[in-house]
Amino acid sequence: MITTNVDHCFQRAGFDKARLFYTQGDYGLFQRADGRIKKTYDNRDWEMKAMAAQLFIPDEKGLFRVPENRQIKMRIPSELIPVCPDGGEPVSMNLRVDDTFVEDAGWQEAARRYVEFLQSCQGRHILFLELGVGGNTPMIIKFPFWSMTAENPNTVYACLNDDESICPEQIREKSICLSGDSGTVMKELKTIQESL
């Protein structure tokens, strides 16, 4: 699975991290702010400490809630300001916002797996399923899916999007474009499938 989402939601939903390629980074990772060390750092422990320091309360799923008295602190102690474990420099989220973005060993490995997967599928029957991809970075998912659909006669392109469910004319005959909320449409498709 390739995604431009950086919100860690696929992993929280139970997807195996080894099958994901987060091309634009991940909120769950820190990197040295200047990008000089090509390494990322899991920030879950820091996140838990920072949320607790603000008086948020974790539930049984590890999600934080506002306490019943609604009193929280909107600050953390200075000793919780995150720094790079390898040198003490400032850190930032591992997000592709400029040329400091770190494509660490995990990112490189995910890119390799994705390319190998695509190569292993050449000539086979393939469904390129695009869910909620907008127009911000079409060169990462949308344009390659269109191109691969045009090149391989055994492919189908399917797009589900609230307001940008489109495809080029060249692949219209082998495309399925659905407009609507992806959660609602997926539930409707499941209901239809179960009734067959």
pLDDT tens column, 147-170: 999 999 999 999 999 888 899 999
Residue at which a domain ends, from 74, 106, 138: 106
DSSP 8-state symbol, 134: -
CA-wise closest residue to 74 among 50, 49, 91: 50
In the chain, the percentage of residues whose pLDDT exceeds 70 is 100
Residue at which a domain ends, from 51, 76, 106: 106
Residues 142 and 72 reside in one and the same domain: no
Q: What is the per-residue pLDDT for 84? A: 95
Residue 6, domain member (yes or no): yes
CA 131, CA 15: separation in Å to the nearest integer?
15
DSSP 8-state symbol, 49: H
Residue 55, domain member (yes or no): yes
Q: What is the per-residue pLDDT for 36? A: 95
Going by C-beta distance under 8 Å and a sequence separation of 6 or more, which residues neighbour residue 69? none
CA 165, CA 182: separation in Å to the nearest integer?
11
pLDDT tens, residue by residue, 87-144: 999 999 999 999 999 999 999 999 999 999 999 998 899 999 999 888 888 999 999 9
Residue 112, domain member (yes or no): no
Residues 7 and 95 reside in one and the same domain: yes
Residues 32 and 102 reside in one and the same domain: yes
Q: What is the per-residue pLDDT for 183? A: 86
Residue 99, domain member (yes or no): yes
**Cβ 87 vs Cβ 77: under 8 Å:** no
CA 124, CA 131: separation in Å to the nearest integer?
22
Q: Which domain holds residue 58?
A: 2-106
**Cβ 26 vs Cβ 6: under 8 Å:** yes
Residues 23 and 94 reside in one and the same domain: yes
Overall number of domains in the chain = 2
Least confident of 22-31, 56-65, 90-99: 56-65
Residues 98 and 150 reside in one and the same domain: no
CA 23, CA 16: separation in Å to the nearest integer?
16
Residues 101 and 132 reside in one and the same domain: no
